[in-house]
């Protein structure tokens, strides 16, 4: 049951919700509060999310408000998107922020709708509509009514009229919103919504209002609930980050499970735009100057990047950790001191290296061509500017100016470079060679530094600007060596192919490899953007030793970056040949290199921001050692591979090295930080930036991990794909009779991946098998471990005399409600005397049983089922853990990481041998489940691909052996 509160200011609603929840719990009900946390305070009609965001995002927000409505309906996000499209905020810069909040609210609402507990939304959809209407430029009677019609309906809506307990109001929710609230209350009454209006002004009237609310809530509870269910269990409900549960008293566990303030798409957008512009710079440069000159530029820029990042002395990372810590401790003098220390030493280092490099180049003018000398000198001149941009950007991010620094550092820099290259090439103002591109980079860097340095002064807190610098040089110097090695090794690792080819004198090859690498790294730009944006957050979590939050952060980054990498890589793979042909005939040989590098980048993206977590958690020396070894191995492997197999070999060497490096980082995180690899959680069943609410855990899922709990229908009845939810330390008999088991099973197969799999794949296959058995004269059937009766749906279509057997009373209650004409038996057939109650059967089915049951129980059940069958009777059973399937290849790794057996596997020959050992002859074996359950939350993708992939697989028998599940038809001997 969902209760939606709206009307009064936040403090009054929170007090009412807290007291109502307390009374419901005292009456024996299971109740919880979901409290909304708006993104920021202030008035969205006037205050933008950031100083630079308004002008940039106003046009995007207005366009999105008009364009997103049909897309939201297509992909099922209508509650959050529709109301924003109908009631867009006056300041369109808030559109993205509020969209994120509404999406989180929509998810929390959908999870509450699946739960059987009482969930109180202190700030639900009605309140959201009122808040949006108050500050929308499109408010009218019609739009307000339409918005209220669009939002999900609560079981009970309570309008609260109470004085504010604090002078603040919700998100700019002034008293001017009173008419909107009153009109919303009237519209809800007119449309028949279950709504009550309550008013209280003191303790006495609050008690009366609570009495009225309790009476209404208990009256609307289903039969049997009003008496209370204090002893019953209920599922754990995930809650999105902007929405948090609020108990009557916050426990230590609740504090540790607080929501993680992850960066929004709005915060990452400037970096992504800048990264795309950087790609366009590389792409246009390759088109304008050709492969040979581009190779000179790529080699010079790679060397300049190594020098620039190394010259930061690691302060571009350490400042993100030191400055938030100093500000939290109010040590402004140290904050000012570390900024001065970092800038002065980084610039001095960069300028010294630039002078040494320039001296070396000019000392041997006859050794290099003039184009190489000029390009190298320009690259060295740009090095101090790039170093200054890196240091200034880190300082600005630490002070909360991430949006402005990303916009300047990426968009301005790359936009200027792109514009200079285009104009000079178009008007023939400069020779079309490497000096054109490097000179444009130098000009762009200088102008970006001119803009960013003043911004740095503006974003610094006043206390830092006014403080007298204080220095803790010994502390700061201790991290210089490992962090310098980290940043240097990372850039060498990323550019090793170009550097090696350039040093060997293969300039044209360096250009070809460089453009392929530039295009491929576009797939990991979202990962880099996310990693940079979470540096301060990772520092706080790592310093506090919060492993659960670090796990959530890594999982979210892995999932986000993998999805983005796939979306970017697929078009690049499809358009590889046309894009390279447009660059010129010299670049066409880069096609296989690009495809290999893209595969490696997608795999690397699936690991998530592992290096960021290691560095911010205080393990920078281990990260440095790993990266140095990886960079060295990449250089050696690239040299060897290039000698023997050319550019393709160099690409393979790069990919293998990158994957090995990420595996090493994942192992370290697992062993030292107890954080699971991002690769294993790249597509989790529940997004990891949503944490679990503090509800009373169900007895059958307490202490289980996400992998063990999903899918919820795992161990019982006629399941499809997935793994068992029965803890492997328990026997099957104990685990399959837990409270709440049947309810979760029904919900799991009612919608989503498993419902689509049943409808599109499994049910048609079983229907055809049962039809053939019925045509041969079979009419009496038994569904062993029938659970909630999913397989019985097909029994009822094919057979006349049907019996369902299970040991779980809760599961059988669901089955009896669905099939009143079928005879059910609550019994353990392995016990003496139970077989006689079943009688002779011609067909027996057992789904998702044999793999979940322990081996002794398997043997007992097979003997019993054989005795239940007449001579020549048929057993139809499935085995849902094929080790040769795609997910079956992952399960052993998952079990090893967990330290116990979560997922059981059985090969085809093992299943056949098991059945034959107990008196059966296998006549048929059918594979299904080729589409893996890794996109469980993307129903549209599953509905689109599942049946098509299955049909394609049936044309290639060898491919079908990669299915996760196989069903066996065996005759009794």
| Cα distances (Å, whole numbers) of residue 812 to 3, 90, 135, 817, 860 | 31, 55, 53, 8, 22
Backbone φ and ψ of 786, nearest 5°: -70, -20
**Which range has highest mean pLDDT (191-205, 238-252, 369-383, 827-841)?**
369-383
pLDDT digits (tens, 9 = 90+) for 8-19: 665 677 788 888
Q: In this predicted model, which residue has the larger pLDDT, 457 or 484?
A: 484
- The closest of 757, 661, 630, 705 to 900, measured between CA atoms, is 705
- Whether the pTM exceeds 0.85: the reply is no
Confirm if 153 and 113 have CB atoms less than 8 A apart. no
What mean pLDDT value characterizes the chain?
75
Q: How far apart are CA 152 and CA 164, in angstroms?
A: 27
What are the structure tokens assigned to 684, written together? 């989790």
pLDDT digits (tens, 9 = 90+) for 381-423: 999 988 988 888 788 777 765 544 555 555 556 666 777 777 7
Scanning the structure block, which residue is given the tokens 């810069």? 93
Percent of the chain scored above 90 by pLDDT? 13
- For the chain, what is the total number of helices (H) and then of strands (E)? 39, 15
Say whether pLDDT at 840 is over 80.
yes
Q: Is 93 in a helix, a strand, or coil?
A: helix
Lowest mean pLDDT among 57-71, 122-136, 179-193, 618-632: 57-71
> What per-residue confidence (pLDDT) applies to 74?
37
> What per-residue confidence (pLDDT) applies to 147?
82
Residues paired with residue 158 on neighbouring β-strands, in sequence order:
5, 196
- The closest of 280, 281, 274 to 436, measured between CA atoms, is 281
- The closest of 169, 257, 200, 225 to 20, measured between CA atoms, is 200
- The closest of 778, 483, 524 to 621, measured between CA atoms, is 483
> What per-residue confidence (pLDDT) applies to 916?
92
Lowest mean pLDDT among 163-172, 215-224, 814-823, 851-860: 163-172
What are the structure tokens assigned to 586, written together? 């010299």
Q: pLDDT category, 44, cuts 50, 70, 90?
A: very low
Q: Is 334 in a helix, a strand, or coil?
A: helix
Confirm if 262 and 101 have CB atoms less than 8 A apart. no
Environment class of 113 (CB within 10 Å of its CB; exposed 0-12, middle 13-18, buried 19+):
middle
Confirm if 875 and 970 have CB atoms less than 8 A apart. yes
Across the range 70-94, mean pLDDT stands at: 54
What b/e sequence results for 880-916 when a residue is b if at least 16 CB atoms lie within 10 Å of its CB, and e otherwise? bbbbebbbbeebeebbeebeeebbbbbebeebbebbe
What are the structure tokens assigned to 156, written together? 């009970």
Lowest mean pLDDT among 385-399, 690-704, 947-961: 690-704
Q: How far apart are CA 180 and CA 177, in angstroms?
A: 5
Q: In this predicted model, which residue has the larger pLDDT, 289 or 98?
A: 289
Residue 330, Ramachandran bin (φ over 0: left; ψ between -120 and 50: alpha; else beta): left
Q: In this predicted model, which residue has the larger pLDDT, 295 or 431?
A: 295
Q: In this predicted model, which residue has the larger pLDDT, 38 or 216?
A: 216
In this structure, the number of other CB atoms found within 10 A of the CB of residue 792 comes to: 25
The single-letter DSSP state of residue 136 is B
Say whether pLDDT at 139 is over 60.
yes
Say whether pLDDT at 249 is over 50.
no
In this structure, the number of other CB atoms found within 10 A of the CB of residue 686 comes to: 18
CA angle 563, 565, 569 (to 5 degrees): 125
Q: How far apart are CA 525 and CA 232, in angstroms?
A: 48
Say whether pLDDT at 429 is over 80.
no
pLDDT digits (tens, 9 = 90+) for 591-645: 899 889 988 888 888 887 777 777 666 676 777 788 888 888 888 998 898 888 8
DSSP assignment of 877-940: EEE---TTSHHHHHHHHHHHHHTS--S----HHHHHHHHHHTTEEEEEEEEE--S-TT-TT-HH
> What per-residue confidence (pLDDT) applies to 685?
37
> What per-residue confidence (pLDDT) applies to 224?
52
- The closest of 501, 505, 385 to 451, measured between CA atoms, is 385
Q: Is 278 in a helix, a strand, or coil?
A: helix
Q: How far apart are CA 611 and CA 603, in angstroms?
A: 15
Across the range 121-133, mean pLDDT stands at: 83
pLDDT digits (tens, 9 = 90+) for 882-910: 888 877 777 776 666 656 666 788 889 89
Across the range 489-501, mean pLDDT stands at: 85
Across the range 43-68, mean pLDDT stands at: 40
> What per-residue confidence (pLDDT) applies to 936?
63
Q: Which residues contact 66 (CB under 8 A, 6 or more apart)?
A: 85
Across the range 159-179, mean pLDDT stands at: 57
> What per-residue confidence (pLDDT) applies to 410?
58
In this structure, the number of other CB atoms found within 10 A of the CB of residue 687 comes to: 18
Q: pLDDT category, 270, cuts 50, 70, 90?
A: low
Pairing of strands 801-806, 823-826: parallel
> What per-residue confidence (pLDDT) applies to 62?
40
């Amino acid at each position: 049951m969902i209760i939606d509160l709206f009307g009064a200011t936040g403090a009054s609603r929170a007090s009412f919700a807290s007291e109502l929840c307390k009374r419901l719990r005292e009456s024996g009900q299971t109740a919880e509060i979901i409290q909304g946390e708006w993104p920021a305070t202030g008035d969205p009609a006037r205050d933008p999310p950031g100083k630079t965001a308004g002008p940039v995002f106003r046009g995007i927000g207005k366009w999105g408000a008009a364009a997103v409505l049909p897309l939201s309906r297509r992909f099922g996000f209508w509650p959050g998107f529709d109301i924003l499209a109908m009631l867009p905020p006056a300041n369109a810069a808030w559109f993205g922020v509020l969209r994120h909040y509404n999406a989180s609210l929509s998810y929390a609402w959908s999870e509450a709708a699946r739960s059987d507990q009482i969930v109180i939304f202190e700030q639900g959809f009605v309140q959201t509509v009122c808040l949006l209407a108050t500050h929308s430029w499109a408010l009218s009677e019609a739009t307000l009514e339409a918005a209220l019609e669009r939002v999900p309906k609560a079981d009970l809506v309570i309008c609260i009229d109470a004085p504010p307990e604090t002078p603040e109001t919700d998100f700019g929710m002034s008293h001017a919103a009173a008419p909107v609230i009153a009109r919303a209350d009237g519209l809800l009454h007119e449309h028949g919504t279950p709504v009550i209006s309550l008013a209280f002004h003191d303790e006495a009237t609050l008690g009366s209002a609570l009495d009225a609310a309790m009476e209404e809530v208990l009256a609307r509870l289903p039969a049997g609930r009003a008496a209370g269910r204090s002893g019953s269990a209920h599922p754990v409900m995930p809650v999105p980050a902007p929405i948090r549960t609020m108990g009557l008293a916050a426990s230590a566990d609740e504090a540790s499970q607080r929501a993680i303030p992850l960066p929004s798409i709005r915060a990452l957008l400037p970096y992504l735009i800048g990264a795309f512009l950087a790609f366009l710079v590389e792409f246009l440069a390759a088109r304008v100057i050709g492969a040979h000159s581009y190779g000179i530029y790529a080699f010079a820029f790679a060397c300049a990047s190594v020098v620039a990042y190394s010259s930061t002395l690691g302060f571009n990372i350490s400042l993100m950790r030191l400055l938030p810590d100093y500000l939290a401790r109010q040590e402004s003098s140290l904050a000012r001191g570390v900024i001065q220390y970092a800038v002065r030493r980084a610039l001095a280092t960069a300028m010294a290296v630039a002078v040494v490099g320039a001296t070396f180049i000019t000392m041997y003018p006859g050794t290099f061509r003039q184009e190489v000398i000029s390009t190298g000198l320009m690259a060295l001149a740009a090095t101090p500017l790039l170093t200054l941009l890196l240091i200034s950007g880190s300082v600005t991010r630490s002070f909360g100016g991430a949006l402005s620094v990303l916009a300047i550092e990426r968009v301005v820099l790359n936009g200027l470079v792109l514009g200079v290259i285009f104009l000079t090439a178009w008007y023939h103002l400069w020779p079309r060679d490497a000096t054109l591109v490097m000179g444009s980079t130098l000009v762009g860097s200088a102008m970006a530094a001119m803009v960013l340095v003043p911004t740095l002064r503006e974003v610094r807190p006043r206390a830092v600007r006014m403080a007298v610098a204080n220095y803790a040089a010994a502390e700061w110097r201790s991290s210089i060596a490992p962090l310098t090695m980290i940043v240097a090794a990372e850039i060498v690792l990323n550019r090793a192919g170009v550097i090696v080819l350039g040093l060997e004198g293969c300039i044209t090859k360096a250009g070809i490899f460089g453009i392929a690498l530039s295009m491929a790294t576009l797939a990991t730009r979202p990962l880099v953007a996310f990693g940079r944006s979470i540096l301060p957050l990772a520092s706080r979590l790592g310093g506090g030793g919060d492993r659960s939050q670090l796990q959530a952060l890594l999982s979210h980054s892995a999932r986000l970056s993998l999805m983005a990498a796939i979306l970017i890589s697929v078009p690049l793979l499809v358009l590889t040949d046309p894009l390279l042909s447009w660059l010129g005939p010299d670049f066409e040989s880069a096609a296989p290199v690009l495809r290999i590098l893209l595969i490696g980048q997608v795999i690397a993206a699936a690991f998530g921001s592992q290096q960021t977590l290691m560095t911010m958690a205080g393990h920078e020396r281990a990260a440095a050692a790993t990266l140095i070894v990886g960079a060295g191995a990449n250089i050696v492997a690239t040299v060897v591979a290039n000698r023997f197999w050319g550019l393709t070999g160099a690409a393979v060497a790069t990919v293998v090295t990158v994957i090995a490096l990420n595996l090493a980082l994942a192992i370290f995180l697992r062993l030292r930080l107890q954080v699971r690899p991002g690769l294993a959680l790249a597509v989790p069943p529940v997004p990891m930036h949503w944490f679990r609410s503090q509800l009373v855990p169900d007895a059958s899922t307490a202490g289980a991990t996400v992998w063990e709990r999903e899918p919820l229908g795992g161990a019982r009845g006629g399941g499809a794909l997935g793994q068992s939810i029965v803890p492997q330390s328990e026997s099957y008999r104990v685990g399959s009779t837990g409270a709440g088991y049947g309810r979760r099973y029904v919900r799991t197969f009612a919608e989503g991946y498993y419902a689509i799999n049943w409808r599109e794949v499994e049910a048609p296959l079983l229907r055809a098998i049962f039809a053939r058995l019925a045509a041969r004269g079979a009419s009496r059937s038994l569904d062993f471990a029938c659970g909630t009766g999913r397989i019985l749906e097909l029994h009822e279509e094919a057979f006349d005399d049907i019996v369902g057997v299970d040991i779980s009373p809760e599961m059988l209650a669901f089955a009896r409600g669905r099939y009143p004409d079928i005879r059910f038996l609550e019994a353990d057939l392995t016990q003496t005397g139970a077989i006689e109650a079943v009688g002779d059967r011609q067909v027996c089915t057992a789904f998702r049983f044999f793999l979940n049951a322990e081996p002794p129980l398997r043997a007992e059940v097979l003997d019993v089922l054989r005795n239940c069958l007449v001579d020549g009777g048929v057993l139809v059973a499935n085995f849902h853990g094929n080790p040769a399937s795609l997910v079956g290849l992952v399960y052993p790794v998952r079990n090893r990481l967990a330290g116990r057996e979560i997922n059981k596997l059985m090969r085809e020959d093992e299943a056949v041998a098991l059945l034959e050992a107990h008196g059966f002859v296998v006549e048929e074996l059918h594979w299904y489940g080729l589409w893996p359950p890794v996109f469980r939350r993307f129903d549209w993708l599953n509905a689109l691909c599942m049946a098509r992939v299955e049909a394609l697989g049936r044309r290639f028998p060898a491919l079908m052996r990669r299915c996760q599940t196989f069903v066996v038809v065996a005759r009794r001997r």
